[in-house]
Amino acid sequence: MAVQIVTKLIPLIVAGALAFSAATAATSPARTMSIVVLGDSLTAGYGLPADQAFPVQLQKALAAKGFAVNVINAGVSGDTSSGGLARLDWSISEGTDAVIVELGANDALRGISPAVTEKALDAILGRLTGRGIPVLLCGMLAPPNMGADYTSAFNAIYPTLAERHKVDLYAFFLDGVAAERSLNQADGLHPTAEGVAKIVERILPKVEDLIRRAQK
């Protein structure tokens, strides 16, 4: 008799456990994702209060849309693509869910060979995708005064690498901000807080896509 009672109770116990598990999952907060922004002064927040830098404004914009994301500032002012490669391993720690790569502006300003820039960015993307980390590559454009040959070679780097590594591309990080005096600091190179807000507004859909890929 006791065995029969226990046997009849087992399905009820299992069903109750499954229901409890489902309810717990439904009420548990989503895990906070970690996105690292590997960049230069444009993302580091040069000339701005810390709370107005690109990673901070991006995190706030994502939170407003319901995304639980910690955006980590790995921007270093003055850094080149080769510099980003040199510090890649300690900048992108284990547990990173996704990476936004914004490098190359200083390469162009210094007239570094596009071949050198491409080699460094190629290595960065290869190592990140090799670790299974989704990447959003932010493109940069060379100043026109560098000459037609240089600008043509440099500007082609980003779409070429995005296709090669099958990563998402945001064509120009400073889209809508470059050359707009009201959105740039006195040096004409670095965005104001309002300029950063404009960048965040424009890049946000691409970052949302990045998050969805990281969640798969």
Q: What is the pLDDT of residues 27-48, one digit of tens each?
A: 345 689 999 999 999 999 999 9
**E strand intervals along the chain:** 33-39, 69-75, 98-102, 135-138, 168-170
Active site residue 21: no
The mean predicted confidence, pLDDT, of the chain is 90
Q: Do residues 39 and 89 lie in contact, with contact meaning Cβ atoms separated by under 8 Å?
A: no
Residue indicated by tokens 């460094």: 120
Specify whether domain 31-215 bears CATH 3.40.50.1110.
yes
Domain spans in the chain, listed from the N-terminal domain onward: 31-215
Q: What is the pLDDT of residues 141-194, one digit of tens each?
A: 999 999 999 999 999 999 999 999 999 999 999 999 999 999 999 999 999 999
The residue from 122, 168, 190, 209 that is catalytic is 190
pTM of the model: 0.86
The residue from 89, 149, 182, 187 that is catalytic is 187
Structure tokens at 139: 């493109």
Active site residue 187: yes
Q: Return the minimum-mean-pLDDT range out of 15-19, 43-47, 53-57.
A: 15-19
Q: Do residues 175 and 149 lie in contact, with contact meaning Cβ atoms separated by under 8 Å?
A: no
Count the alpha carbons within 13 Å of 97 in the hemisphere toward its beta carbon: 19
The type of residue at 52 is Q
Active site residue 41: yes
The residue from 41, 79, 107, 165 that is catalytic is 41
What is the CA angle 205-191-150, rounded to 5?
A: 85
